[in-house]
Every structure is written in C-alpha cells, then in structure tokens.
Amino acid sequence: MDWNIMIERAWESREHAYAPYSSFAVGAAVESSDGGIFGGCNVENLSFGLTMCAERVAIASAIAAGGKSMRRVVVVADTRTPVSPCGACRQVMAEFGVQEILLCNRSEQILFRLDELLPRSSAGILDR
Ligand code: THU
C-alpha cells in the first residue's frame, strides 16, 4: 500500500484535534501489520501533562481494534517544517515495531527509520 492513503487519513484525523490550549492540530495514521489503517489526533487537557499526542492516539486505536504490531506511521501538521514526534511517542512506536515514519506538512515529506529517530530504544531494559 502506498503512503497516500495514510497521508489522507492523517489529515482527516487532524480535523478532529482537540487542541484548545496550543491551537496546534496534529494528525497521524498508522498501518498495522495486517494492513489496517488507523487515524489519530492530539487530545489536550487543562492539566497539560495529560495531553495525548496524535501518534499515540492512532497507535492505541490500532491496538484496541486488535492490531498486534505496526509497520508505518504518518504524522501531519500545518507547519513550516514537518513536525517531529516527541520522545514518548518514539518509544511507543518502538514498542509496537514501527519501522518507518513519514513526517509531513502541506508541501514537504521526510521519511525516517525509527532507529534514526530513536537509537537503542530497548537496549538493556529488563536485561539483568
Ligand atoms: N503533538 C502531537 O500530537 N504530535 C507531535 O508529533 C508533536 C506534538 C501535540 C501535543 C500538543 O497537543 C501539541 O501538539 C503541542 O505540543
């Protein structure tokens, strides 16, 4: 499957962003290993630390629908430079086997491997 379906889903999901505090709407889409596509948007809270990023909302949606692992993630925002996932989202992507992440704004797309964005994501953890 090409990236375009995922990119479209991410922009659609962004329309649902709940971002009254930052006014910064983000959309995401993930592809699960069985080919399902799941969207997500950021969901903010008055208690700022409870905010959920679009990427993690999309991943949680895929898991809730029975997905076991994910190959690809698209992130979109209307920014000058394509938006980059936060560290927490990178770690959650690693948890579920994401390999490629496409970062998009209205005019530009940058493709990364997860190991470029988060090297050694699980090295040594619980390894006693
Ligand atoms: N945000 C995301 O949803 N994904 C990202 O990759 C970057 C940041 C959200 C969190 C918060 O609602 C707003 O963008 C500003 O940080």
Do 34 and 65 touch, CB atoms closer than 8 A?
no
If you search the block for the tokens 């997905």, which residue do you land on? 67
Protein residue with least CA distance to atom 8, ligand 1:
53
User: Ligand 1 mean position to 29 CA, how many Å?
Assistant: 14
The string of DSSP codes covering 79-106 is -SS-----HHHHHHHHHTT--EEEEE-S
Whole-number percent of the chain with pLDDT over 90: 97
Query: Over the chain, what is the mean pLDDT?
Result: 97
Catalytic residues: 55
User: Ligand 1 mean position to 35 CA, how many Å?
Assistant: 25
- What are residue 6's phi and psi, to 5 degrees? -70, -40
pLDDT digits (tens, 9 = 90+) for 64-76: 999 999 999 999 9
First to last CA, the chain: 40
The pTM of the full predicted model, rounded to 2 decimals, is 0.97
Do 9 and 39 touch, CB atoms closer than 8 A?
yes
How far, in Å, are 64, 85, 110 from residue 36 at the CA level?
Answer: 12, 21, 22
Mutate to test the pocket of ligand 1, among 57, 86, 105, 110 (most ligand atoms within 8 A of CB): 86
Residue 80 pLDDT class (50, 70, 90 cuts): very high
Protein residue with least CA distance to atom 5, ligand 1:
85
* Rg (the chain; Cα; Å): 14
Do 96 and 124 touch, CB atoms closer than 8 A?
no
